[in-house]
Structure 1
Amino acid sequence: MSSFSLPPIYDNPDGGWGPSTSTNFPEEFKFRDIPYAPFAKSDKLGRVADWNDLSTDNRQNQQGSQSQSNRGGAAGRRGDRNQAFGSGTASAFAYFHVEDESSFSLVDNKPAPARRGGGFNRGRGGPRGSPWGARGGAASNVRGGRGGPGGRGGMQRTMASGRRGWRDWEKNNRSREASVVISPSWQMLEEIEFHRLSKLRLEVDEPEELDSYGRIFAYDKTYDRVTTKSEKPLQLVDRIKYNPTTSDDPVIQQLASKNVANVYTTDIILSVLMCAPRSVYPWDIVIVREGNNLFFDKRDGGPFDTVTVNENAADPPQDPAPPNPNNPAEKAVVPETAPINTATSLSLEATYINQNFGFQTVIETPPPAPVDFAHPNPFYGPDETEPLASCGYRYRLFDLGITEDEDVKICVRTEVDAYVPGAGNPREGQGLATIRALNEFDPRSQGAGGAPDWRTKLDSQRGAVVATEMKNNSCKLAKWTVQSVLAGADLMKIGYISRANPRDNTRHVVLSATSIRPTDFAAQLNVSLANGWGIVRTVTDLCMKMPEGKYVLVKDPNKPVIRLYAVPADTFTGQDEEEEEEEEEEA
């Protein structure tokens, strides 16, 4: 005969709830058979047990049915999203009718009839030609209607709307190499994400011009009337144009000896730093602190000497993968035989186009006569025989102090390429212009970024071409605009250069040229100079806290992050000495 024994009851003589601490309660029975349910700090515990509360599964089922019946309503969405902490599907207090549900069986297993009409996804809401009618519902994201823009398959609609298409997950998976090899001896001091840089702001007043050097020629206005029907060939013009780094500039060395400013740099280096949140490709800036002065330098042959192409495109141009060292049969790609549409080849091509377009679009033989600034070109030696390019250097002083007591000033060497005749006196900063060029390679190649054919769209739909270039080359255009604003140029001359044959990257033609004010173009590009000055001031304050020495600011090649490293004083100097020895041996 079965028997049942009662468990021991541990009474509390004090009259409280539960056994008292003085009771001889065994340690092994202390937390046995006690259900555990986690609670958040915001939960309201009004009673010990709520027997009227529904189980978690029932509550979620009710909320799910309510949100489906009231789709789009705030109550349904709020019920699905705001769940208390610990309210998972496996609740410790939930009760399940296991035996009752297992004994239940459905007698009528006939399928429910299909609904016709009135459905949101499957309705025939209009004629075939309308975007909201047709079968399949053109309003859905995947299956477009017959008369809608998606077609039957819907893949064309997906691709046209900018979404990822077939095997797009395999693109952009190749990691880029850093612009400089980071040695293990380098010490990382700071890491700043781009989203933190985008929140910085600093308003800066108009700069003070310290001095000016060089000679500039007049811009040839006939290029503003060039169209795709009257294209001009891009010529190869041999001219010398100097772009030395900050520490190699004799004028900056003179100004630094007079303690004119705290920070010294050039407009090319400063524009990269001010537009850092837009950059995708890697770059690096060498920062040298000598006393209370900072010098922002660039490396010879670094990323500052070339022009990028479609850096901000969804699928930018890629370089071929390096050879596998474990496969001896695989050969490295020689630069002479490399494809012409890789990132490196396009960058060299764009640099060549920018230089020659600036040399070609100025009038070197008067009239109008060239304009000489206060001093001749400081980099042109007496032994040089080749003619100088049209270039003027303006050394300008910007005050970055937040209060009147702060003495944070930056001296910037800026450049202008030409002047516009009849727009004022160029020696007083009137009518100055910078000349840049956008280039088209092959609209059907990888990395084109969905650019339209310039020969068919540039005259009739220039806005579409400009919008595509602003999207694919946002960082490059922003840097050009910042350089023009820093130099005090009134106009930006932008040329549209295309290949004469898409398969030949040596012959180019000028399809058109346009003029725009840098401040207006900055507003179109959503370029905030206040944000750029905030980034410069933040980096300056960060380096001023460090002791004297050499530092490198590196942009991560694959992440939106910049890092500041402390490097030995002889970093990058041995490489320059080796290059100088090789040049002397060749000479």
Structure 2
Amino acid sequence: MAPAFQLSALIASLPEDKDTIWGPPTTTDPYLNEVPYAPYSKGDKLGRMADWTQDSGKDGRDNRGGKGYKNYRDQQVYGAGTSSLFSYQHAEDEASFSVVDNTKTTKPRAGFGRGGGTIFRGRGARGGAATGGRGGATAGRGGAQRGPGGRGGAAFDNRGARGGRGGRRFGGWKDWDKPQRNRDASVIIKDSWKMLEEIDFNRLAKLNLETDEGEDIEGYGFLNTYDKSYDKAAGAKTAERRLAVQDRLFFNPTASEDPIIQELAAKDEATIFATETVLSMLMCAPRSVYPWDIVIVREGNKVFLDKRENSQVDYVSVNENATDPPLDVSEGNKDAMNTPHALALEATYINQNFAIQTVQENEKFDFPQPNPFYNPEEDSEPLGSKAYKYRRFDLSLNEEEPMHLIVRTELDAVVKQGTSAEQFVTIKALNEFDSTAQGAGGALNWRQKLGSQLGAVVATEMKNNSCKLARWTTQSILASAAQMKLGFVSRATPKDNNRHVILGVVSFKPREFASQMALNLNNGWGIVRTIVDMCMQMPEGKYVLVKDPNKPALRLYEVPVDAFDEDEEVVETKA
């Protein structure tokens, strides 16, 4: 600080003219007010006033994440969201100059070259890229192999890569560039229909209703004994058998056309009546992707859950829940036999024949009543092994307002365990069409992996066919079956959908299998009770519950009483 006498001398030397202006001299620069405005964001935060250790890019913006950006990763630099208008840019970037290294080095095997694929280091084949089919590559331990006809092939197919230890997981090749699938509804929505309610799956997943184990009311039909020779080690060569065509009759009428259900309804045995096919579809609705519909008929205080003739509910879907499910012909699928509808027909055909082939017809277990749908005077073909158990469940919320449901369940065979009582089983079949085709969902080759990696095969099927397996498990629990026989059936050759081979059979306890796939039956009962309560608040008539074809939601429509009575044009489901 200057001494006091110097400061007073300085003040005395100043001019006494009052017009003298203090401060910096004024300027007459005409460009002062023409400086361009630098935009800024009100959300910018002041992190540091200056950072002399950080190198700026060509355009004046900070190279965030560089060496100078160490302890400020989570802070915003003021004005970093906009480019600087005042930064000086070099005519040439000196950092781009480097010394040329002429040393010869061995180039690593690289990806996307001629016939090659991207290499991913991993432990065994799990850490590498998935098999890409023709022209694809299979990355094993630290290397890549060319697939058949691998010239110019890409490294990934639509299934993406299986990310293992040290590998990278891909969701699929050009997932962002895939067009949105627009499926058609399972039934034509007419203008005369009135939409009453729309429920998304998120709401359905929160419902819950505890019920009892159910009680048997009546039993009809007969069952053959299951052939235990099919229980050999799955995947073994000795377990392979040809699937033969079985000429047997099966009946699956809807609830309103079932004479036994009509008798039980006349006796006021319950409020709700359904078959296991329709009831399992409704209980597992949040897992469904493909469109379907259920006809609901209310007569007085009775509710019937029905299905239309040739309904989608009767068919067995294939890879419905896969990340990249099978495409239709209109969506670019060149293999007509691998479209969703063709695969559903094939899977339904396999299940019917497989259930008959795996039983011994020389041994029979008869229920108290014969098959209620078989007429020997009109039906010339023999009956297949099938029993119908009518069971009742209590869906009441309180004792003042009782509500019961009667469902017709189905059993496929009986198993004798020594001197103990017979155990009833259900028989289902999973089918493999082509592990390298589009829509396979990353499934393993069953002939190669079923014996050594059975758990991985079942886990993949749980992912790709979550809805189908959930329905089968629900049907087994509703029927109070002790076991569920799950067969693995594959095509004899991938390009022929008429000849099939049984690779093995695995047994599961239905409730244990339900816990493995996180299936909550209480949630299913809550869905049924919610839908029925909606219909009970409506006047008597006919309603249709439709699964939206393109989003996870259900819609309830009020339709005329004579709807579906005559042959109407039904849109074939393009899943």
TM-fit CA distance, 1:56: 3.6
1:40-439 to structure 2, matched below 5 A, reads: 56=42, 59=45, 77=74, 101=86, 110-111=94-95, 159-161=161-163, 162-171=169-178, 173-225=180-232, 227-230=235-238, 231-321=240-330, 339-366=336-363, 370-383=364-377, 384-422=379-417, 431-439=423-431
Q: Which amino acid in 2 is paired with 1:313?
A: A
Look up the SS of the partner of 1:346 in the other structure. Answer: helix
Look up the SS of the partner of 2:330 in the other structure. Answer: coil
TM-fit CA distance, 1:67: 9.1
Q: Which amino acid in 1 is paired with 2:409?
A: T
TM-fit CA distance, 1:97: 11
Q: 2:562 aligns with which of 549, 570, 574?
A: 570
Change (3 A) 1:130 1:105: closer
Say whether residues 1:448 and 2:432 are aligned partners: no
TM-fit CA distance, 1:70: 12
Change (3 A) 1:576 1:390: farther
Task: State how far apart, in whole Å, the 2-side matches of 1:74 and 1:362 are.
Answer: 71
Superposed CA deviations along residues 531-565 of structure 1, whole A, max 9, x for unmatched, are 11111111111111111000000001110011000
Task: State how far apart, in whole Å, the 1-side matches of 2:69 and 2:388 are.
Answer: 61
Task: State how far apart, in whole Å, the 2-side matches of 1:164 and 1:180 are.
Answer: 33
Change (3 A) 1:113 1:485: farther
Change (3 A) 1:56 1:478: same
Change (3 A) 1:550 1:222: same
Look up the SS of the partner of 2:282 in the other structure. Answer: helix
Change (3 A) 1:403 1:172: farther
Change (3 A) 1:55 1:479: closer
Say whether residues 1:499 and 2:491 are aligned partners: yes
In the alignment, structure 1 segments of 5+ residues that lack a partner are: 1-53, 91-95, 115-128, 133-137, 139-144, 324-332, 579-587
TM-fit CA distance, 1:373: 1.0
Superposed CA deviations along residues 51-100 of structure 1, whole A, max 9, x for unmatched, are xxx984751665999995999999965x67xx9xxx9989xxxxx998xx
Task: State how far apart, in whole Å, the 1-side matches of 2:71 and 2:194 are.
Answer: 52
Q: 1:474 — aligned with what?
A: 466
Q: Is the 8 A contact 1:215 1:391 kept in 2?
A: yes
TM-score (norm 1): 0.72
Q: Is the 8 A contact 1:66 1:76 kept in 2?
A: no
Task: State how far apart, in whole Å, the 1-side matches of 2:290 and 2:90 are.
Answer: 63
Aligned residues: 469
Q: Is the 8 A contact 1:443 1:451 kept in 2?
A: yes
Q: Which amino acid in 2 is paired with 1:532?
A: G
Change (3 A) 1:320 1:66: closer
TM-fit CA distance, 1:105: 8.1
Change (3 A) 1:167 1:393: same
Superposed CA deviations along residues 180-216 of structure 1, whole A, max 9, x for unmatched, are 0100111110001111111111111121211111111
Q: Is the 8 A contact 2:412 2:426 kept in 1?
A: yes
TM-fit CA distance, 1:424: 7.2
Q: Which amino acid in 2 is paired with 1:406?
A: E
Task: State how far apart, in whole Å, the 1-side matches of 2:544 and 2:80 are.
Answer: 50
- Percent identity, aligned pairs only, is 50
Q: Is the 8 A contact 1:56 1:88 kept in 2?
A: no
Task: State how far apart, in whole Å, the 1-side matches of 2:339 and 2:408 are.
Answer: 33
Q: Which amino acid in 1 is paired with 2:487?
A: G
Change (3 A) 1:463 1:576: same
Task: State how far apart, in whole Å, the 2-side matches of 1:351 and 1:146 are.
Answer: 37
Structure with more helix by fraction: 1
Greater Cα shift, 311-320 or 512-521: 311-320
Q: Which amino acid in 2 is paired with 1:417?
A: D
CA RMSD, 1 decimal:
3.9
Change (3 A) 1:72 1:312: farther
TM-fit CA distance, 1:228: 3.5
Task: State how far apart, in whole Å, the 2-side matches of 1:398 and 1:71 are.
Answer: 69
Q: 1:465 aligns with which of 457, 460, 484?
A: 457
TM-fit CA distance, 1:406: 2.5
Task: State how far apart, in whole Å, the 1-side matches of 2:72 and 2:389 are.
Answer: 63
Q: Is the 8 A contact 1:555 1:563 kept in 2?
A: yes
Task: State how far apart, in whole Å, the 1-side matches of 2:525 and 2:565 are.
Answer: 30
Look up the SS of the partner of 1:437 in the other structure. Answer: strand
Task: State how far apart, in whole Å, the 2-side matches of 1:489 and 1:72 are.
Answer: 65
Change (3 A) 1:222 1:184: same
TM-fit CA distance, 1:483: 0.2
Change (3 A) 1:463 1:89: closer
Task: State how far apart, in whole Å, the 2-side matches of 1:181 and 1:71 are.
Answer: 64
Q: Which amino acid in 2 is paired with 1:237?
A: Q
Change (3 A) 1:406 1:223: same
Q: Which amino acid in 2 is paired with 1:522?
A: A
TM-score (norm 2): 0.73
